[in-house]
Chain A
Amino acid sequence: MDFQVVILAGGFSSYLVPLVSKEVPKALLPVANRPVLSYVLDLLESSNLKDLIVVVEGEDAALKVGGWISSACVDRLHVEVAAVAENVGTAGALRAIAHHLTAKDILIVSGDIVSDIPPGAVAATHRRHDAAVTVMLCAQPVSGPSESGGSGGKDKTKKPACDDIIGLDSLKQFLLYIAKGTEIKKDTRVKKSILCAAGKMEIRSDLMDSHIYAFKRAVLQEVLDQKPAFRSLKQDVLPYLVRTQLRSDVFSDQSNVEENGNGNGKNNMQNNEVVLSQILSNASMPSFHQVYESGLGTRKTHKCCVYIADESKYFVRLNSIQAFMDVNRDVIGESNHLSGYSFSAHHNIVHPSAELGSKTTVGPHCMLGEGSQVGDKCSVKRSVIGRHCRIGSNVKIVNSVVMDHATIGDGCSIQGSVICSNAQLQERVTLRDCQVEAGYVVCAGSEHKGETFARK
């Protein structure tokens, strides 16, 4: 497929402090002991999308990510790593790497996705409709938006505030309206012209923008050039395209030049493509875009399409500490097909080289990494433990993530917490809903709840 994939892997996200650090950019955060980026790469590979550009914010982070990629998958995929300045926003990042983009269509994927929705389906929908942009939507998680905050499940009890407000046409093919729920104070305003053209619009607040977009390269670059103030794809570029879909000014020059340059042959091909796209999209009736266009001869339109993922599919963006916990739990639990590991009869994964003390139990939905040692009379439930961790005796670990090389002293009790790599818990530490930064030492005997440990 003539698709170029851009993975926006971010840098050191402030939402994820203290999990991310100079050593570990967001893209390399471990999910079930694999960097989260590897899930995205696997997903793309499964759709046979192999021409990838990974965009990382900041040189240091880019080096780290590049290092990992070259060690992990250089043989399978064609991956370039590009560094951009920090805080340029997603649109800025694309602007910075614009010269790398050559394919007709660009698939843009956020680097923090753990999912089993095939991105190839988005690409196919995009092609079928000959759309300017195609957005993948998925069902809003029932438990509440993933940004429900880092400290425990407090916000879960609240009714999920609608995150994205999305307007679809009656066939659920086109995107007619998109807004972020949090930005709308009181009223949702829907433009009448689009509504009139489409006849019906279904406004959904139970769908979520999944940050997987397919763009026509020409359109994307035109918008980025024309609107230098646009910073974010989701908040600026996409709403702009949706809003202007009936009075497009993104195509005007480009297509004319192409047509003139290539003469009749090209025209025929384009006509064929249009016909083909109509057949493919079961368009017994012309879409409202075409009707509108034919009515007002002076107008050009472009299509904004959607691909709505099946509700049964798994989708989480790792953009908060809560999401990090959820993903780790799900990947070794309910959605274990994502991890790519094979599970034992006890529904857990204990690396053969891990050492378990006597009377130690590792429950289902657990993972114990290579070379880790667990002392006597320990209990591990629904948790991920990284490689080469040292865990003392009488330790209880529930619903937690322990990253590589962490040391946990005797008699500790850890619940709902994240212990980053090289951190050390001295004896009899009790943690509940805490995050411990990499390399941090928690003093013996202390008891904490809902705290974050980080060196300032």
Chain B
Amino acid sequence: MGAQKKGGGPRVSEDAVEQSRQRLQAILLADSFATKFRPVTLERPKVLLPIVNVPMIDYTLAWLESAGIEEVFVFCCAHSMQVIEYLEKSEWYSHPNLLVRTIESHKSISAGDALRYMYEQQTETSQIQGDFVLVSGDTVSNMPLADLIKEHRERKKKDEKAIMTMVIKQSKSSPLTHQSRLGTDQLFIAVDPLTKQLLHYEEDKVDHPSGSVCLEKSLLDTNPSVLVCNDMQDCYIDICSPEVLSLFEDNFDYQHLRRHFVKGVLVDDIMGYKIFTHEIHSSYAGRIDNFRSYDSVSKDIIQRWTYPYVPDINFSGNRPLKLGRQGIYRASDVVQSRSADVGASTVIGYGTKIGNGDKISNSVIGNGCSIGSNVVIEGSYIWNNVTIEDGCEIRNAIVCDGVKIRAGAVLQPGVVLSFNVVVGRDFVVPAYSKVSLLQQPTTEDSDEELEYADSSSGTADHLSGLNLQMESKASELGPDGAGYIWEACEGAHDEEWKHSVAPIPKDKLFEITQAIDDDDTDDESVVPTSGELKSDADSINTDVNDPNDDYYYFEKEVEGTVLRAVEENIKVDLVTLEINGLRLSYNMESADCAGATFYSMIKLAVDTPHNSASELYKNAASIITKWKELLGFYVKKIDEQIEVIMKFEEMCQESPKELGPLFTQILHLLYDKDVLQEDAILRWSEEKAGADEADKVYLKQCDTFIQWLKEASEEEDEDDEDEEEDD
């Protein structure tokens, strides 16, 4: 025994050591589960798209490797073969420090599915041993991760519920346009300033296009101080504990990492799990989510913010370029005419020829391109093996591999030319058009998540065949061109300017600022100027509206129930049971039930065919007599009875011709049948006494009845008193 005990002691510490030595793992999602890069992503997976002449995934892997990650699981969905092939060819598979494993799944259509798949795999192989880094394959960063992971682990040790640490970075959107630099929607997050716990996460547009951010009050009750930030950018770099995977497994409807998972944890308060944030200051992190961020991140790479992942350093088997003055990176074998003018912040790849009189600035030009003479290229991204003939003008465009642009063609800002497109002679491609050899899919998958379902296996294989077909067809790009111009679709055509590589045009700028102005004025008009408390009038309004809606639906359901009960002659007990169920699910008072039940009964009477008022009365009387027990169940209290009278009054006002004259009669009937007590009727009359004349119609109608009730009760009182005196 003693020996065993001795053995037990060190083992614990060994475990601790083991834990700290635990392999640093990462899950890299090699699919963005979005369609923002269409049509380019129909032919090549997004992670293999080159950014400054190096595929995006290389940036991510190089960064993970240098940050000390030892094992990466690359999760491939769309075009998985291409990704795997690329990785096999690259040096990553044989990297000494970084173990790269690929996981393939064609069924996953969202990040949520991917993580669920990982979880299933996990039960068999238990690959994920502890905390892991979750990134997507389009992340460019140089932030150190080791300390952050340590911080996460320590927090996790102290607080079991801290399952995720999210990396954020300061990035203020332009005060003018309110557009973020990366073209993402505006983000509003709330953080506890001391613990950095994430308390609220809200993306503009997606959540509420309203003019205000909504924080739950309970948030402020529990936290004396809450920091609401608008100037933060979500880097989509998360340090997760294994619980995250099981959370995805448990909540099978989680798809999007942020919209579903983060919101779910914050709002639904699942098991009290907490998410924390980590703000990076000096290092770089950015995710290429759309064409605008493609542009911004490219510029950051050229400006060396992402050092050491810059074009003149070999970080993933890429051939380094030579850095010249003014941020011009040039391959050693570039053939450049003397008369060509290559301006600042430009990258020119290997084997590229640049002709006479070309003007190139702020652009990236890939390998093996040939550019004719007198070509103007500004702020554009030309990928590999592109041929540009003489006299073309290209501004703020993305041109994919193998494209031919014939002489004199013009690409207006925001154009995206997918692979192997041919632009005809002197053709002007209109601004923001997206051109592909593939026809735009007509069967529109309503959900954007379905990107690769059609593209993963099918298109890639048939591509060559399609190509031939297309070239034979009359092109939309001039007589000697090839390609289809995609119509702006997906309901996002208004947003085109927002996600494009092109800068926001002037008229749009004006429009936006104008819109902001209008927004403000809208806000203003919402705010009533009365002296009453109006600071949060809109929230009060919604509060009032919601119950009303609820009540409306509740009433409808009760009506249906009662109708069915009458038709099928169901027992009162069962009906009450059903209505009670409705009451609970709609969170209603018993007085609401009384009102709704009574409403349904009278409505039934009115709906039953009748010729005269007396017949209607008979109908009503028979229904009330028959179902008074049901009603009686809900009108035990005076308040509930008053509710019934009010409801009745309301109904009479709605259909004054039919029901109006019968008010007193039915009231009397209800009194006779002991549904209503005299106290309730008298209280109602007292309450109504102070109302407007218009509201008093029915009060006056039953004046004599009330008078009679009053006298009766007074007599009773007197009797009582007499009796007391007698005693």
Contacting pair A184 B230 (CB below 8 A): no
Contacting pair B220 A202 (CB below 8 A): no
User: Which of A91, A198, A239 contacts B535, CB < 8 Å?
Assistant: A239
- In the complex, besides A192-B186, A203-B228, 19 extra interface pairs with C-beta distance below 8 angstroms are A184-B539, A185-B539, A190-B212, A191-B211, A192-B204, A192-B211, A193-B516, A193-B519, A193-B520, A195-B228, A196-B178, A196-B230, A201-B227, A204-B225, A205-B224, A206-B224, A227-B529, A246-B520, A295-B513
Which residues of the partner chain A approach B543 to less than 8 Å between Cβ atoms? 185-186
Contacting pair B517 A187 (CB below 8 A): no
A229 CA to B523 CA, complexed, in Å: 19
Flag the segment in B169-177, B461-469, B488-496, B710-718 that touches A: B169-177
In A139-166, the 8 Å CB interface with B consists of: 159, 161-162, 165
Contacting pair B217 A184 (CB below 8 A): yes
A231 CA to B516 CA, complexed, in Å: 31
A188 within 8 A of B: yes
B726 within 8 A of A: no
A183 within 8 A of B: yes
A171 within 8 A of B: no
Q: Give the Cβ gap from B158 to chain A, nearest Cβ, in Å.
A: 24
Which residues of the partner chain A approach B536 to less than 8 Å between Cβ atoms? 179, 183-185, 188-189
A197 CA to B524 CA, complexed, in Å: 17
A213 within 8 A of B: no
Contacting pair A247 B230 (CB below 8 A): no
Pairs A–B under 8 Å by Cβ, sample size 9: A165-B220, A189-B215, A191-B213, A196-B230, A204-B224, A246-B520, A247-B521, A295-B175, A295-B513
Which residues of the partner chain B approach A296 to less than 8 Å between Cβ atoms? 176, 513, 516-517
Contacting pair B188 A202 (CB below 8 A): no
Contacting pair A186 B216 (CB below 8 A): yes
Contacting pair B230 A200 (CB below 8 A): yes
B214 within 8 A of A: yes
B221 within 8 A of A: yes
B531 within 8 A of A: yes
| A165 nearest in chain B by CB position | B220
Contacting pair B531 A236 (CB below 8 A): yes
A184 CA to B172 CA, complexed, in Å: 30
A185 CA to B212 CA, complexed, in Å: 16
A162 CA to B217 CA, complexed, in Å: 10
A63 within 8 A of B: no
A181 within 8 A of B: yes
A199 within 8 A of B: yes
Which residues of the partner chain A approach B190 to less than 8 Å between Cβ atoms? 203
Which residues of the partner chain A approach B534 to less than 8 Å between Cβ atoms? 236
Which residues of the partner chain A approach B219 to less than 8 Å between Cβ atoms? 188
A178 CA to B172 CA, complexed, in Å: 24
Contacting pair A161 B221 (CB below 8 A): yes
Which residues of the partner chain A approach B175 to less than 8 Å between Cβ atoms? 196-197, 288, 291-292, 295
Q: Give the Cβ gap from A232 to chain B, nearest Cβ, in Å.
A: 8
Which residues of the partner chain B approach A196 to less than 8 Å between Cβ atoms? 173, 175, 178, 186, 230
Contacts A184-B217, A200-B227, A202-B227; is A195 near B188 (CB within 8 Å)?
A: yes
For this complex, into which size category does the number of interface residues on chain B fall? 35 or more
Which residues of the partner chain B approach A91 to less than 8 Å between Cβ atoms? 531
A203 CA to B217 CA, complexed, in Å: 11
Q: Give the Cβ gap from A15 to chain B, nearest Cβ, in Å.
A: 18
| Interface residues as binary, A30-45 with B (CB distance below 8 Å gives 1, 0 otherwise) | 0000000000000000
Contacts A185-B543, A200-B230; is A191 near B523 (CB within 8 Å)?
A: yes
B538 within 8 A of A: yes
Binding site for B on A (CB under 8 A): 89, 91, 159, 161-162, 165, 167, 178-181, 183-193, 195-206, 227, 229-232, 235-236, 239, 243-244, 246-247, 288, 291-292, 295-296, 298-299
Which residues of the partner chain A approach B539 to less than 8 Å between Cβ atoms? 184-187, 189
Contacting pair A203 B230 (CB below 8 A): no
Contacting pair B228 A201 (CB below 8 A): yes
Contacting pair A229 B226 (CB below 8 A): no
In B488-546, the 8 Å CB interface with A consists of: 513, 516-517, 519-521, 523-524, 527, 529-531, 533-536, 538-540, 543
Please indicate which of the listed interface residues B513, B521, B531, B543 has the most CB atoms of chain A within 10 Å of its own CB. Answer: B531
B430 within 8 A of A: no
A406 CA to B544 CA, complexed, in Å: 53
Please indicate which of the listed interface residues A178, A180, A202, A292 has the most CB atoms of chain B within 10 Å of its own CB. Answer: A202
Which residues of the partner chain B approach A298 to less than 8 Å between Cβ atoms? 517
| B540 nearest in chain A by CB position | A185
Which residues of the partner chain B approach A247 to less than 8 Å between Cβ atoms? 520-521, 524
Contacts A200-B229, A230-B531; is A190 near B213 (CB within 8 Å)?
A: yes
B193 within 8 A of A: yes
Contacting pair B533 A183 (CB below 8 A): yes
Contacting pair B227 A205 (CB below 8 A): no
Which residues of the partner chain A approach B213 to less than 8 Å between Cβ atoms? 189-192, 195
Contacting pair B215 A190 (CB below 8 A): yes
| A202 nearest in chain B by CB position | B227
The 5 closest A-B pairs by CB, nearest first: A206-B224, A229-B531, A199-B231, A189-B212, A188-B215
In B525-577, the 8 Å CB interface with A consists of: 527, 529-531, 533-536, 538-540, 543
In B88-145, the 8 Å CB interface with A consists of: none
Contacting pair B533 A235 (CB below 8 A): yes
Please indicate which of the listed interface residues A188, A200, A299 has the most CB atoms of chain B within 10 Å of its own CB. Answer: A188
| Interface residues as binary, B154-194 with A (CB distance below 8 Å gives 1, 0 otherwise) | 00000000000000000011011010000000101010010
Which residues of the partner chain B approach A198 to less than 8 Å between Cβ atoms? 230
Q: Give the Cβ gap from A217 to chain B, nearest Cβ, in Å.
A: 21
| A199 nearest in chain B by CB position | B231
| Interface residues as binary, B221-263 with A (CB distance below 8 Å gives 1, 0 otherwise) | 1011111111100000000000000000000000000000000
A246 CA to B520 CA, complexed, in Å: 9
Contacting pair A188 B529 (CB below 8 A): no
| B193 nearest in chain A by CB position | A202
Please indicate which of the listed interface residues B188, B219, B220, B231 has the most CB atoms of chain A within 10 Å of its own CB. Answer: B220
Please indicate which of the listed interface residues A193, A246, A291 has the most CB atoms of chain B within 10 Å of its own CB. Answer: A193
| B544 nearest in chain A by CB position | A185
Which residues of the partner chain B approach A292 to less than 8 Å between Cβ atoms? 175
| B538 nearest in chain A by CB position | A189
Q: Give the Cβ gap from A418 to chain B, nearest Cβ, in Å.
A: 32
Q: Give the Cβ gap from A438 to chain B, nearest Cβ, in Å.
A: 34
A76 CA to B530 CA, complexed, in Å: 41
A231 CA to B530 CA, complexed, in Å: 9
Contacting pair A185 B217 (CB below 8 A): yes
Q: Give the Cβ gap from B506 to chain A, nearest Cβ, in Å.
A: 15
Which residues of the partner chain A approach B220 to less than 8 Å between Cβ atoms? 162, 165, 181, 188, 203, 205
A298 CA to B211 CA, complexed, in Å: 20
Contacting pair B221 A231 (CB below 8 A): no
A165 CA to B229 CA, complexed, in Å: 17
Which residues of the partner chain A approach B178 to less than 8 Å between Cβ atoms? 196
Q: Give the Cβ gap from A96 to chain B, nearest Cβ, in Å.
A: 15
Which residues of the partner chain A approach B226 to less than 8 Å between Cβ atoms? 202-204
| Interface residues as binary, B436-464 with A (CB distance below 8 Å gives 1, 0 otherwise) | 00000000000000000000000000000
| A246 nearest in chain B by CB position | B520
Contacting pair B214 A189 (CB below 8 A): yes
| B173 nearest in chain A by CB position | A196
Q: Give the Cβ gap from B536 to chain A, nearest Cβ, in Å.
A: 6
User: Which of B172, B186, B212, B530 contacts A191, CB < 8 Å?
Assistant: B212
| A182 nearest in chain B by CB position | B533
| B215 nearest in chain A by CB position | A188
Contacting pair A205 B225 (CB below 8 A): yes
Which residues of the partner chain A approach B186 to less than 8 Å between Cβ atoms? 192, 196
Which residues of the partner chain B approach A178 to less than 8 Å between Cβ atoms? 535
| A161 nearest in chain B by CB position | B221
Please indicate which of the listed interface residues A185, A203, A298 has the most CB atoms of chain B within 10 Å of its own CB. Answer: A203
A230 CA to B175 CA, complexed, in Å: 32
Which residues of the partner chain B approach A191 to less than 8 Å between Cβ atoms? 211-213, 523
Q: Give the Cβ gap from B369 to chain A, nearest Cβ, in Å.
A: 40
Q: Give the Cβ gap from B216 to chain A, nearest Cβ, in Å.
A: 6
Which residues of the partner chain B approach A197 to less than 8 Å between Cβ atoms? 175
A89 CA to B543 CA, complexed, in Å: 28
